[in-house]
């Protein structure tokens, strides 16, 4: 997969390594530079779709959206299994993954937020999946 200069951009971020686009995240995963962590709920992954090979570690739990009390432990265990790899975090729209990336960085991990998340921004009708996001960019996913 050949990336344009724009797709290779790492935007500065507050409290974590940076914001990246989905194509760069997928490139890093495919070239063994990173592990992809999907921080959406089990329900979101089941109903909306998931990325093949992504590791599911929810940031918040359905249905009350309380923080996952095991997030730190699960993420640290993953990091121990994949030493030296970047952690790229994916959520629905790129909001929860910012909080998760900040927390991962506090734990000493090289963490990046994937901009626009899996579904992208909401359009004028409040619907997702039509303005950016992993799926719209044609990257691998299944339902």
pLDDT (mean) for 137-142: 94
Q: Is the pTM of this model over 0.75?
A: yes
52-78 pLDDT, tens digit per residue, is: 999 999 999 988 999 999 999 999 999
The answer to whether the beta carbons of residues 8 and 24 sit under 8 Å apart is yes
Nearest alpha carbon to residue 37 among 9, 79, 8: 79
Give CA–CA dist 44/52, Å, rounded.
Answer: 15
Scan for tokens 């200069």, then name that residue. Answer: 5
pLDDT at residue 43 is higher than 90: yes
pLDDT at residue 1 is higher than 70: no
At residue 85's C-alpha, the angle toward residues 55 and 141, to 5°, is 35
Q: What is the mean pLDDT of the chain?
A: 94
Radius of gyration of the chain (CA): 14
The structure tokens listed for 12 are 């500065």
* Residue 125 confidence class, pLDDT cut points 50, 70, 90: confident
């Amino acid at each position: 997969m050949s990336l344009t200069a724009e797709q290779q951009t790492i935007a500065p971020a507050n409290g974590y390594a940076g914001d990246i686009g989905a194509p760069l995240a997928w490139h890093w995963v495919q070239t063994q530079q990173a592990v992809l962590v999907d921080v959406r709920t089990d329900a979101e992954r089941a109903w909306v779709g998931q990325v093949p090979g992504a590791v599911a570690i929810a940031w918040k739990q359905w249905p009350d959206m309380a923080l996952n009390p095991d997030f730190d432990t699960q993420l640290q265990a993953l990091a121990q299994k994949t030493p030296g790899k970047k952690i790229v975090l994916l959520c629905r729209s790129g909001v929860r993954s910012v909080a998760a990336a900040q927390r991962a960085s506090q734990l000493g991990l090289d963490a990046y937020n994937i901009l626009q998340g899996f579904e992208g921004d909401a359009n004028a009708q409040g619907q997702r999946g039509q303005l950016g996001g992993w799926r719209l960019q044609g990257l691998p996913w299944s339902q």
